[in-house]
Structure 1
Amino acid sequence: MSYSLLTEPWIPVRQGSKFQSLGLLQLFQSWDSISDVCAANPPRQIALYRFLIAIVHSAIRGPATPADYKALWKNQQLTDQVCEYLNRWEDRFDLLHPEYPFLQDAKIPKKIKQTPIGKAVYQDANTPIIWFKPNETPWLALPDATQELLRMQSLELGGKKGDSVTAGPGRWTQGRHVFPISSTLQETCLLNLIGYEATDIDRPVWEQSSPYGTGERHPAGYLDWLTYCERRILLKVEGDKATHLRLASGWKPPKECGFTHDQHQAFRISKDKTWNPLPFNPNLIDPKNPRMNPQKQLWDDSEAILHTIENSNQRPRIFDWLDNTRKLKNPQIVRVLGFAHAGGTQSAKAVHWADDFLSVPETILEDPDAWVWVKDAIIIARLFGKIFAGKVFQYAPKPSGSKEAFSRGEQDTIKAQLPSLQAALYSYIGQQFPKLILDLADVEQAEARLQEWQFQLKNYSRELVSLLITALPDYRSKAIAESMFNIAIHKIISEKAREDVA
């Protein structure tokens, strides 16, 4: 029994307006005409991108230098080289191989009980549902099972994974993953390669003789990091369906490995002087930390994702490599995929994922002075977000002879609407930001465009205030609310002006 990932159609792709599934050989033979891989959700998409990057790096064992990298773009034999490599390791890309099933441990202890695959892969009724498989369909088709294997080895949630196994979250379940993309899958793969000097000990999982184990282990290098197996898994397959799996904890990389090896995530240094992926927890509300709000969007993270402003931030290193090799497009389209769990003891609870695109001008990535304009635009956006926070009531004028500006009922009505209005403002900012960043790259018009941005957000904020006022019961409360928000908007603009002077 065999299921060869080289020939069986299991990777979803888009060719223009046509969608289909391909095996690895057909994918690489036609990657110059494939628009992109198109997984069903961001965690699968992240896993597929990194898997294909690992294959190309493994096939060429490089590029070791910028000159090698530039030569790849003109290499007419690259497709043949990748396909020859896959054929050389054909047995290791068989999902059902008796000794080396793809990304599975054939020697997993018999004492580990089988778990229905739906229970192991999808969320149950006691956790927030992001993806869900109904109980009446207790199996996965082999293409889906293969994609889930890729995801589970790096983007799996923590918690109880079977009748007796508890595991921590995967190494890529927090933060955003940044992938420069192009019009073809071939160019996208090349854009995401980095300078890599091969060593004898650094091999992808399918080249290793004993790739599975338990305990903490340092990756041997970048290929090992990309294909590192954090779970020991063995599928049970009946016909063309995977019905159960046996699952146990696998290797665990030390915490600092991400910063050492990863090229596609932004990192931020913590108070204990360790580097961690830029957090992506948009559903966690922390009033003491305005950067952790429930409407957190790409524009608010772009300061660290695209440009290093302070020594405490490290943008994805893929940008530095592309900048040095002059393979950045102008503007460069970037796909930013996010996946996050609740963290701590709640690591089994997925809270959010995102799939965003930005067209980033070369100037923004290369010139610190040009980035200052974008940084100011982000600050202005954050300041306007404060208008729809609870502290806005401090700006409410108190009418003569009245102890309070609003009755308790009126205040409750306003408070109930603030989160929705703030979400609407952040959504509007998210829609406008991609064009804004292109405009601000033109230094000659940047200052005027920034002033226009402030005026734009002021007008939109007033539109939102008008919607809120309609819910208030009388002219008195409407007039006080309008005055309160106008004062808040004025204070926001004044605060930005003081920062500019300073």
Structure 2
Amino acid sequence: MPGFDLVSRPWLPAQLSDGTAAKLSLNEVFTRAADIRRLVGDLPTQEFALMRLLLAILHDAVDGPEDIDAWQELSESPQPLAAVGPYLDRHRERFDLLHPAQPFMQVAGLRTQKDEVASLNRLVADVPNGDPFFTMRQPGVETLSFAEAARWLVHAHAFDTSGIKSGAVGDPRVKGGKGYPQGVGWAGNLGGVFAEGDSLQQTLLLNLVASDASGFTVDKDDRPAWRRDQCGPHMQDDLTSRPTGPRDLYTWQSRRIRLHHDDRAVHGVVLCYGDPLPVHNSHQREPMSGWRRSIPQEKKLKEPRVYMPRGHDPARSAWRSLDALLTSRTEEQTTQGTEPARYLRAGVLKWIAELTHERLLPRDLLIRPRLIGAVYGTQQSVIDEVVDDSIALSVVLLHERDPKHAQAAISAVEDSTKAVRALGDLAADLARTAGRPTEAPSDTARDLGFGLLDGPYRKWIVTLDGSHDPLAARTAWQRTTYRIIRNAASDLLAADADATGWLDSAKSERVFHARLSKALPLRHHTPPDAATPGEQAHPIKETVR
């Protein structure tokens, strides 16, 4: 049976810098990384899983980087990814998707007691379980090309659902031929975060966290899956001493999988549980997620400090969750006292802050933190939603030792929230006066308010590049917010007047203006710099495309 060599065969969809699309091999992705804009997965979660695969390869190819000096030397070299080509050649055999004994990220000979082979719907995450509407694969997946199967294989290890699965012969955990719930794939637990640059090469370097980075722990023997013994159907024997670091985590074998194929395509799969991994307190090993302190888990586990991944809320845009990306005032205050921090931001962003502090990145460099994650439902047995959002911002906002710009950005989000709340309260007051239920009008008005502020905030935040006074920038944002929310309120009042008359809404209007003025007190402030950032006449720096 012919093989499918992922090193030389095209299987990774990419968007090139000129906007065109291409399907590339692993070798081509690293060779052409400076001319590639980004990978393009079948789902955003697939892009996240593939990005982690590329990072694991790069970490292993350069054996580190060990420290910030090694990272600087690598980033300043003419060909920073040059070590990857020879590395892939050395390990080419383990990157064969169809290898008879060591297939890539699979278990050769994996089988169930009855030799059942499941539909590829088990592997492909964009096929709704029991609901084939709004999918191009109706009613299911009959075959996959080898390239597409390889992408979904990587995705399954990262984001596969929980629930009852096939029981593999040779796995002592199997009962009655079934594998009972063990949780989702490792990345499915995370509120995934990575920093996106102008090119794939810049993206890989920005997220290549050094082994000695602050708050990060990497063992000397950290290795990816293809440099470990081939998995069998049972759990691996050395899990008590793992994960060893990012190379191990980025390629964690959370499932045991075998693709069934002929010489043309994949037509079935055996998918079983693999290596479990406790979620709590993995923040020193896992840099691509934010973390939150969990007091209930501290009581349950009887540990003094427990951090869990901080997932993404599908109802909140990235800019409204900015405190999860930047150093918040709450985090600074609690870390200086006896209480542990309530939240920890993602290690990749702390690493970029360290690079900025050491002046290895220009303070006005624009990056785009990408927020990607899966939201599971029904006992984690299905994926309900996929979160994918981003926001362009200057790296100066990540600077831990100079937090005033980050505080201005976070405070501006709080200003926006208060102003939108005033708009929602106005809608509720108008509904109450008319004798209607208040909840739906209030929610609709708040959604409208945040929607109207979304684009302007994203344009405003790129002006926080360290070249202007952050107080002046926040003042400009409060003025912008006041104008937008006041205009939205005028529309609500006009619509209400048509239905009930102006006199009924006059009191509600007075109360609204008082609330809005209280929410945005800086709008009357006169900034010392006439060229206030964020005003309409202020030029907007070109953001990361």
- TM > 0.5 between the two? yes
Distance 1:62 1:364 in 2: 23
Distance change in 2, residues 1:253/1:175 (3 Å): closer
Query: In the superposition, relative to structure 1, how do residues 131 and 233 fare at CA in structure 2: closer, same or farther (>3 Å)?
Result: farther
Q: Which amino acid aligns with 1:6?
A: V
Q: Which deviates more, 373-382 or 110-119?
A: 110-119
- Cα deviations by residue, 1:133-160 (Å, 9 ceiling, x for unpaired): 3226522222221111111111223334
Per the TM alignment, residue 322 of structure 1 is displaced from its structure 2 partner at its CA by 3.1
The answer for the alignment partner of 2:393 in structure 1 is 359
Distance in 2 separating the partners of 1:29 and 1:370: 37
Which residue pairs with 2:334 in the alignment?
Answer: none
Paired letter, 2:368: V
Matched-pair contact (CA < 8 Å) for 2:328–2:410:
no
Assess, with a 3 A threshold, how the Cα gap between structure 1 residues 204 and 495 changes in structure 2: closer, same or farther. same
Q: Which of 178, 181, 196 in structure 1 is aligned with 2:196? A: 181
For 1:5 and 1:260, the matched residues in 2 are separated by 31
Amino acid at match of 1:187: Q
Counterpart residue type for residue 392 of structure 2: L
**RMSD between superposed Cα atoms in Å:** 3.1
2:327 is the alignment partner of 1:307: yes
Q: Quick check: 1:380 aligned with 2:415?
A: yes
- 1:125–1:230 Cα change, 3 Å: closer
1:490 and 1:462 mapped to 2: Cα distance?
12
Change (3 A) 1:211 1:484: farther
Alignment match of 1:28 (pick from 27, 30, 37): 30
The answer on whether the counterparts of 2:423 and 2:489 sit within 8 Å (CA) in structure 1 is no
In structure 2, give the amino acid aligned to 1:105. Answer: V
Of residues 228, 239, 244 in structure 2, which corresponds to 1:208? Answer: 228
- What are the equivalent positions in structure 2 for 1:374-453 lying under 5 Å apart? 374-389=409-424, 392=426, 395=429, 405-407=433-435, 411-412=436-437, 415-442=439-466, 444-453=468-477
Q: Using the alignment, how far apart are the partners of 1:205 and 1:29 within structure 2? A: 23
Deviates more, 1:269-278 or 1:18-27: 269-278
Within the alignment, does 1:113 sit opposite 2:141 as a pair?
Answer: no
Partner residue in 2 for 1:401: none
Matched, 1:336 2:339: no
Q: In the alignment, what sits opposite 1:287?
A: none
Report the 3-state secondary structure (helix = DSSP H, G, I; strand = E; otherwise coil) of the residue aligned with 2:392.
Answer: strand
Partner of 1:400: none
1:316 aligns to what?
346
How far does residue 46 in structure 1 lie from its aligned partner after superposition?
A: 0.5
Matching residue of 2:360: 327
Structure 1 residue 227 displacement after superposition: 0.7
Aligned length: 476
Q: Cα distance 1:256–1:119, how it changes in 2: closer, same or farther (>3 A)?
A: closer
Q: CA deviation at 1:55?
A: 0.3
User: Which residue matches 1:460?
Assistant: 484
Alpha-carbon distance between aligned partners in 1 of 2:186 and 2:121, rounded to the nearest angstrom: 22
Alignment CA distance shift 1:137-1:234 (3 Å): closer
For 1:338-395, what per-residue CA distance to the aligned partner results, in whole angstroms no more than 9, with x for missing partners?
A: 2231467255232231132312242553412222211210111111232354x55775
Deviates more, 1:211-220 or 1:310-319: 211-220
TM-score (normalizing by structure 1): 0.85
Structure 2 CA distance for partners of 1:77 and 1:353, relative to 1, 3 Å = closer
Q: Distance in 2 between matches of 1:281 and 1:145?
A: 29
1: CA distance between counterparts of 2:121 and 2:61?
Answer: 34
Q: Which residue of 2 aligns with 1:143?
A: 147
User: Given the alignment, which residue of 229, 232, 243 partners 1:219?
Assistant: 243
* Alignment match, 2:174: none
Partners of 1:349 and 1:33 in 2: CA distance: 34
Amino acid in structure 1 at the alignment position of 2:350: D
Letter in 1 for 2:433: A
* Alignment match, 1:98: 100
Q: Which 5+ residue runs of structure 1 have no aligned equivalent? A: 283-293, 398-403
| One-letter identity of the residue aligned with 2:105 | L
Stretch of structure 1 that moved more, 152-161 or 414-423: 414-423
Amino acid across the alignment from 2:12: I
CA displacement 1:153-178 (0-9 Å, x = unmatched): 11223334569544522222245433
**Structure 1 position 193, deviation (Å):** 0.6
Q: Is contact 1:158–1:168 with CA below 8 Å preserved after alignment?
A: yes
**Which range moves more in the overlay, 483-492 or 123-132?**
123-132
Structure 1 residues 332 and 465: CA distance shift in structure 2, 3 A: same
| Mapped pair 1:171 → 2:171 | no
Contact kept, 8 Å, 2:243 with 2:249, in 1: the verdict is: yes
CA contact under 8 A between 2:281 and 2:308: conserved in structure 1? no
Distance 1:316 1:328 in 2: 18
Residue in structure 2 matching 1:233, options 253, 257, 269: 257
- SS of the equivalent of 2:260 reads strand
Unaligned runs of 5+ in 2: 168-177, 213-217, 299-304, 332-340, 523-545
Q: In 2, Cα distance between the equivalents of 1:219 and 1:267?
A: 18
User: What SS does the corresponding residue of 1:133 show, helix, strand or coil?
Assistant: coil
The answer for the alignment partner of 2:53 in structure 1 is 51
- The letter for the 1-side match of 2:197 is S
SS of corresponding position for 1:252? coil
Distance in 1 (CA, whole Å) between partners of 2:493 and 2:145 is 53
TM-score, L = length of structure 2: 0.79
**Contact persistence 2:144–2:267 (CA under 8 A):** yes
